Structure 1
């Protein structure tokens, strides 16, 4: 759910355009991590200790927070940050690991901006913020070639592309595509609400997930001109409200988290054409639609070997673990664990695959979990890290 307070969440009606009122304290397209981040993140400017790596927190009301994390325990230490950006609720890193990209919702239209990553995650602005051409930008990702930045405007129901300059700064907008349509939920699907935009693991097609129209759109990015050409559309179950997706690292399948009916759906993926074909859907919490608490799935991530999939549940306040079955075409819910806070908006696997971080928006914590690589099981690794209202936790 995008920018929703507790009373709204309980009723499932309406939305707020700004989350800043909550007070100060988001798979890259490749799989193996949440759908906003790159799978094999290169090393950025590292801390002096070899067992520490940078992590960045995108917040509501407190800008970007820079941390380091212990690569064994996941323990986070705040190092600094950049407060002068409004509600950077999603973050992404360049393919070379040297530039951090963030959302900026300080104006009537959303914007994206870039920061050079220095020692201990120190951030230095690179160029000005660039408008995304629509209200309430909610997601961004870097095309695998590193020359374009993709963004999704939730409020406007549109997606955009920007050129990335040689120094990593965000250049001119090269594409703006408006979605049209609606869904059966009058409170949440009165019009298009683009929630995510990513690229498939081979870098051939771009995919935009739209909660408002119950569709996943396939585009082709022209890497010379930066334009987005529509290719196909895949429709979800009516009223499902598709939010975020992730691709299997090797098999021709994608997995879409549906916010409004608390399910996850498997889609067949034709890498040559970009066409998605809807398959089975599974509940994301034990008891499914009969669960006592209304639940809103948010983020989805997959292990680098494609054997386990993880999903954050808001309302149930948990991280679900699924076994990926039938060579990628099936999912089986194995268990859930507490997210270490309230309203886990985002989850992210560390590049090692041995740690998972959960950004709890209302709880203002980061839950840190050890990942058993053999079983996929999650175990809390120390107490949650207390911080600000969170949209994203991105370990590098």
Structure 2
């Protein structure tokens, strides 16, 4: 099923070290949400997170991937065919265990969990990756002796205005706001927002209006709502809400580690994935965007949901279930925000899903 464009396609990352296929391209049935495998490649070791960016030629797109290994790397891939093909070299990021990446200002940024740093690499005209232009090293620690002895950058992303880069650090219980020099690729620390000690912030998602952000914590089943001021680059926490029912928050034999947060395209709902509890939480956002109320939780359609992704239409929600080795899809009730599972695709060691 070769194609000149990427309409109706998804790309799935998975851990090759755990038997995953690497990067898988899949066709998306727009009527049913179903995924069908087109092809896969294991040329990038442990491509745990992916992002799409513009490429050369009319309508061109390039897929970028981290390589979440001890000596971390990033790669660019051509996706005009059914099997993604590398463009240029796989580039070292001068950081350990990159878990997330994003494009900003003509550069690729990676969040390096193991070394607690953010790396910027130049992006060439053909979409391939150039040299490292900056490495911003985080500093600090948290109260959890096992998980927070030092910094652990877990996510990096630009704000909706494109003027700032935010990095979420699980080890320091904070979010750093940086400025990227689009000419030189230098990263400059602008500010740092502290969150409740011991919560272990993992991922952040912006409200579509761009005025608020929601930070999901890995070491506590909660999400923190923040006001975001793009004019000054200020992130202000305004409230912390549970993503699980009270009876699920404590006790029992199963530890819970929230993983991903997604906001609906209309800003009315927020969804989170919880590993261990193996659920998707549904929260309703009020008109201000500052208060989230837990509506319910539903099963994730597998075990250990590492990632959640909303398709471009906002109708379908997908969960990458790492330990059960599948990607499940859900139709979202537009009135309640509650997702209902309608199918699943086997993808061993699945780690993320993105859509073209």
User: If the TM-score is normalised by the length of the shorter chain, which range does it land in?
Assistant: over 0.9
Q: Does 1:202 align with 2:157?
A: no
- Partner residue of 1:323? 284
Identify the match of residue 327 of structure 2 among 347, 366, 372: 366
- Residues 315-374 of structure 1 deviation map (CA, whole Å, 9 limit, x = unaligned): 110111111114111111111111000000001001111111100010101110011233
Q: Does 1:332 align with 2:287?
A: no
Q: Distance in 2 between matches of 1:235 and 1:45?
A: 46
- Partner residue of 2:74? 112
Q: Does 1:59 align with 2:14?
A: yes
Q: Distance in 2 between matches of 1:387 and 1:270?
A: 39
- Partner residue of 1:250? 209
- Residues 74-133 of structure 1 deviation map (CA, whole Å, 9 limit, x = unaligned): 111111111121100000000466100001245x420111001114x4312110011111
Q: Secondary structure at the match of 1:198?
A: strand
Q: Distance in 2 between matches of 1:319 and 1:237?
A: 23
Q: Secondary structure at the match of 2:302?
A: coil
Q: Please identify which structure carries the higher strand content.
A: 2
Count of residues paired in the alignment: 344
Task: Give the TM-score of the pair, scaled to structure 1.
Answer: 0.84
Q: Does 1:289 align with 2:249?
A: yes
Q: Please say if residues 299 and 345 of structure 1, whose CA atoms lie closer than 8 Å, have aligned partners that are also in contact.
A: yes
Q: Secondary structure at the match of 1:133?
A: coil
Q: Please say if residues 45 and 117 of structure 1, whose CA atoms lie closer than 8 Å, have aligned partners that are also in contact.
A: no
CA RMSD of aligned residues (A): 1.5
Greater RCO, CA 8 A, separation 6+: 1
- Residues 222-249 of structure 1 deviation map (CA, whole Å, 9 limit, x = unaligned): 1111111100000110100000000111
Q: Secondary structure at the match of 1:94?
A: strand
Q: Distance in 2 between matches of 1:324 and 1:377?
A: 13
Q: Please say if residues 24 and 83 of structure 2, whose CA atoms lie closer than 8 Å, have aligned partners that are also in contact.
A: no
Identify the match of residue 99 of structure 1 among 54, 62, 71: 62
Q: Distance in 1 between matches of 2:76 and 2:65?
A: 6
Q: Does 1:389 align with 2:344?
A: no
- Partner residue of 2:140? 181
Distance 1:262 1:102, change over 3 A: same
Q: Does 1:164 align with 2:119?
A: no
Q: Distance in 2 between matches of 1:289 and 1:326?
A: 27
How far did 1:136 drift? 0.7
How far did 1:59 drift? 0.5
Q: Please say if residues 14 and 347 of structure 2, whose CA atoms lie closer than 8 Å, have aligned partners that are also in contact.
A: no
| Structure 1: segments with no counterpart, 5+ residues | 1-43
| Structure 2: segments with no counterpart, 5+ residues | none
Q: Distance in 1 between matches of 2:84 and 2:44?
A: 12
Q: Secondary structure at the match of 2:8?
A: strand
- Partner residue of 1:24? none
Q: Distance in 2 between matches of 1:370 and 1:178?
A: 41
